[in-house]
RNA sequence: GGCCCUAUCGUCUAGAGGUCUAGGACGCAGCCCUCUCAAGGCUGAAACACGGGUUCGAUUCCCGUUAGGGCUACCA
């Protein structure tokens, strides 16, 4: 029943009270994947009814994050659409229209009994209150009187009249969820100041925007019954629901800054590929039904199905992300890699296209995050940043320096042509004749030329560096 | 506290009553390759939370316990 969709309309509805974290990004991704898979529409709606906590910057950050991931929306901010506006803060009249409907049908009433909350205090819990008092005071007041209050702009919270019994729904990932309506209660839909409340705005907007499948975080599962009551009172057909598990940190607690980067844009600046992020995120709580793990965006779209969603929460795994990044980098051609990586490098590094490509080729298997690429290749484009400990160990304090360094220098000097093949042949011969391991010969070279103990193959590195630079760096430490 | 959700290797997961001596991936360990670091190849350690049922038979179904998570606002 959840596998086939006509005119699928899904949405991502973040509230701009902070950056787009990876949990939200994943929810957005699932919705996007679903829309693309079934030829439906992906709608973006900004839930900024909390005027105190919502900010413009947050909106910008969320849009930027979504753009970076390539999760383009068919309707929403910037692109518009037939159900504008897509910001809840600009839909107040719509909410009031629906509120009026509820009052007229006798399904909502002003709560004249509950005192205003003390400033800065949470209002007292209203579930399980003594209904009888409300029944006498205003719950059973005639709709006309309530409408009058509404017109006057009464300073009372507007509550729905929750019926008794149970509500249930078929969750696409969990099956049936049933709740006793006594646990829902007469929830507030309009605040004392007339502002609409979340559980009311989602219902109104999802209905108004013709959303027919709501896929969201598990933290909303308890809100669903409340929303269902409102759908019923409004005589509206509710959408289907799918609640995906949350992403947890390594301590199984809700993901937070303590677990590393959680702003999706942080991954961009660290140099993760957007397709890696998408691949990684999709696999937390979903699988294609076979053993595939590393998947392209297109593969993800065609493999995605709501049936592949799991119900148990997943823990964020940084080393898996890094592994995915490495694999995606390796299967990518040098051309693509070079292009995607150049924003993370100084302009001087990429100016000489040919040399840049040679360097990238050498480092192809060693690059993970692009933010680390500069360090891996810096010595090709300028003086090495020497690791003093290694300089000491392999060069200045090398016990065999007098014996080996002249030989090393001589062979580099005389290599002609100055190619990896030529250099390798010479060094292998020396190694054999002098009965010295290649490592003994090459580690000092490596430190002198690259500044540290690890690099791509030494012969290839020397070739790309060229004879002049190689010799200059070697002589600095090896000329006795 | 109340209500709701979840429960397979450390982690992501496959498994939809017998195919499970439980499969894959990351990570970890060892070996191979090797001029270092990677990459690659091979091998290994590593899990069905617990207790009751149902059944000829439960990782798979039901109940409970425990654990984790969520919600419990005139926040979203």
pLDDT, one tens digit per residue, over A456-476 is 999 999 999 999 999 999 999
Separation between the CA of A430 and the C1’ of B25 (whole angstroms): 44
Instruction: Please compute the mean of the pLDDT values over residues A93-101 and round it to a whole number.
Output: 96
The pLDDT assigned to A96 comes to: 96
Question: Residue A129 pLDDT > 80, yes or no?
Answer: no
Please state whether strand B lies within 7 Å of residue A220 at its CB atom: yes
Question: Residue A301 pLDDT > 60, yes or no?
Answer: yes
What are the residues facing A159 on neighbouring strands? A109, A188
The pLDDT assigned to A248 comes to: 87
Confidence of residue A205 (pLDDT cuts 50, 70, 90): very high
User: Pairing relation of β-strands A188-190 and A314-315?
Assistant: unpaired
Please state whether strand B lies within 7 Å of residue A17 at its CB atom: yes
Instruction: Please compute the mean of the pLDDT values over residues A211-230 and round it to a whole number.
Output: 96
Question: Residue A88 pLDDT > 70, yes or no?
Answer: yes
Please state whether strand B lies within 7 Å of residue A284 at its CB atom: yes
Separation between the CA of A114 and the C1’ of B26 (whole angstroms): 55
Separation between the CA of A387 and the C1’ of B16 (whole angstroms): 57
Separation between the CA of A310 and the C1’ of B13 (whole angstroms): 10
Question: Residue A236 pLDDT > 80, yes or no?
Answer: yes
The pLDDT assigned to A176 comes to: 92
Please state whether strand B lies within 7 Å of residue A476 at its CB atom: no
Confidence of residue A230 (pLDDT cuts 50, 70, 90): very high
Please state whether strand B lies within 7 Å of residue A458 at its CB atom: yes
The pLDDT assigned to A255 comes to: 79
Please state whether strand B lies within 7 Å of residue A121 at its CB atom: no
Instruction: Please compute the mean of the pLDDT values over residues A321-340 and round it to a whole number.
Output: 96
Separation between the CA of A220 and the C1’ of B70 (whole angstroms): 8
Q: Rounded mean pLDDT of chain A?
A: 92
User: Pairing relation of β-strands A41-44 and A9-12?
Assistant: parallel
Confidence of residue A260 (pLDDT cuts 50, 70, 90): low
The pLDDT assigned to A120 comes to: 56
The pLDDT assigned to A131 comes to: 56
Nearest nucleotide, CA A223 to C1': B71
Please state whether strand B lies within 7 Å of residue A299 at its CB atom: no
**What is the value of pTM for the model shown?**
0.93
The pLDDT assigned to A50 comes to: 84
Confidence of residue A102 (pLDDT cuts 50, 70, 90): very high
Nearest nucleotide, CA A126 to C1': B73
Separation between the CA of A99 and the C1’ of B1 (whole angstroms): 33
Nearest nucleotide, CA A439 to C1': B35
CA closest to C1' of B23 belongs to A291
The pLDDT assigned to A122 comes to: 56
CA closest to C1' of B2 belongs to A183
Active site residues of A: 257
Question: Residue A370 pLDDT > 90, yes or no?
Answer: yes
Question: Residue A300 pLDDT > 70, yes or no?
Answer: yes
Question: Residue A127 pLDDT > 50, yes or no?
Answer: no
Q: Percentage of residues in chain A with pLDDT exceeding 70?
A: 94
Question: Residue A128 pLDDT > 50, yes or no?
Answer: no
Question: Residue A371 pLDDT > 70, yes or no?
Answer: yes
Question: Residue A3 pLDDT > 70, yes or no?
Answer: no
Separation between the CA of A199 and the C1’ of B66 (whole angstroms): 33
Confidence of residue A366 (pLDDT cuts 50, 70, 90): very high
Please state whether strand B lies within 7 Å of residue A180 at its CB atom: yes
Please state whether strand B lies within 7 Å of residue A453 at its CB atom: yes
Nearest nucleotide, CA A250 to C1': B11
The pLDDT assigned to A304 comes to: 95
Question: Residue A123 pLDDT > 80, yes or no?
Answer: no
Please state whether strand B lies within 7 Å of residue A218 at its CB atom: yes
């Amino acid at each position: 029943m959840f596998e086939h969709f006509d005119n699928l309309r899904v949405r991502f509805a973040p509230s701009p009270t902070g950056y787009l974290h990876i949990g939200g990004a994943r929810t957005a991704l699932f919705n996007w994947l679903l829309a693309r898979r079934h030829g439906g529409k992906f709608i973006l709606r900004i839930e900024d009814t909390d005027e105190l906590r919502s900010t413009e910057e947050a909106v910008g950050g969320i849009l930027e994050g979504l753009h970076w991931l390539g999760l383009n929306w068919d309707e929403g901010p910037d692109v518009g659409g037939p159900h504008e506006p897509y910001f809840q803060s600009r839909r107040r009249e719509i909410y009031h229209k629906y509120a009026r409907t509820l009052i007229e049908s006798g399904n909502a009433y002003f709560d004249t009994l509950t005192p205003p909350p003390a400033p800065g205090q949470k209002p007292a819990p209203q579930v399980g209150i003594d209904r009888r008092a409300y029944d006498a005071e205003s719950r059973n007041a005639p709709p006309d009187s309530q409408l009058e209050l509404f017109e006057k702009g009464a300073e009372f919270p507007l509550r729905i009249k929750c019926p008794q019994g149970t509500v249930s729904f078929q969750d696409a990932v969990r099956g049936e969820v049933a709740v006793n309506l006594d646990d829902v209660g007469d929830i507030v839909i309009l605040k004392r100041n007339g502002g609409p409340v979340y559980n009311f705005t989602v219902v109104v907007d999802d209905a108004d925007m013709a959303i027919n499948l709501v896929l969201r975080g598990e933290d909303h599962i308890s809100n669903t019954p409340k929303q269902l009551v409102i759908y019923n009172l409004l005589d509206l057909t509710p959408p289907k629901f799918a609640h995906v598990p949350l992403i947890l940190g390594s301590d199984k607690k809700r993901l937070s800054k303590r677990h590393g980067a959680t702003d999706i844009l942080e991954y961009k600046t660290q140099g993760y590929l957007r397709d890696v992020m998408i691949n990684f995120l999709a696999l937390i709580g979903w699988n294609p039904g076979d053993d595939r793990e590393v998947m392209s965006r297109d593969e993800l779209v065609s493999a995605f199905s709501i049936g592949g969603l799991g119900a148990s929460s997943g823990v964020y795994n940084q080393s898996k992300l890094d592994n995915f990044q490495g694999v995606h980098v390796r299967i990518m051609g040098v051309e693509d890699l070079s292009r995607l990586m150049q924003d993370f490098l100084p302009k001087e590094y990429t100016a000489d296209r040919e040399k840049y490509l040679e360097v990238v080729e050498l480092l192809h298997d060693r690059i993970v995050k692009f933010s680390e690429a500069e360090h891996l290749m810096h010595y090709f484009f300028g003086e090495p940043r020497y690791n003093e400990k290694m300089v000491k160990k392999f060069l200045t304090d090398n016990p065999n320096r007098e014996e080996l360094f002249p030989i090393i220098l001589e062979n580099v000097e005389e290599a002609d042509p100055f190619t990896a093949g030529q250099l390798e042949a010479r060094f292998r011969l020396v190694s054999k004749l002098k009965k010295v391991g290649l490592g003994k010969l090459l580690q000092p070279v490596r430190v002198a030329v690259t500044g540290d103990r690890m690099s791509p193959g030494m012969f290839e590195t020397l070739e790309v560096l060229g004879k002049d630079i190689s010799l200059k760096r070697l002589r600095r430490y090896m000329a006795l």
